Amino acid sequence: MTSRADFRQYALDCMREAESADNAPMCLTMFGLARIWMDASLQMDEHVMRTGEEPAREANPPTNATNNAWK
């Protein structure tokens, strides 16, 4: 599983892409993805606050999905 910090970084990456988008649909899509990543991070934060435990991590976490999406 990806870390909370990773999710927040993905959200920032999406916001940067939205800001540089040359059309409104792409901008809205990227801001929507940023919100999804931030929501996921907040859900993980809430889990940690409730349980005091970080969610388990995979042995081989996935590569940075948002950065690879536009290559």
For the chain, what are the domain ranges? 4-52
How many whole angstroms separate alpha carbon 33 and alpha carbon 40? 11
On whether the CB atoms of residues 11 and 34 are closer than 8 A, the answer is yes
Q: How do residues 40-55 score in pLDDT, each as one tens digit?
A: 999 999 999 999 888 7
Q: Does pLDDT of 69 surpass 60?
A: no
Place of tokens 């916001």: 15
Q: What token pair was written down for 8?
A: 């927040």
Q: Would the pTM of this model clear 0.75, i.e. be above it?
A: no
pLDDT in tens, 3-53: 899 999 999 999 999 999 999 999 999 999 999 999 999 999 999 999 988
Cβ atoms 33, 66 nearer than 8 A = yes
Q: Is residue 71 very low, low, confident or very high in pLDDT (cuts 50, 70, 90)?
A: very low
pLDDT at 36: 97
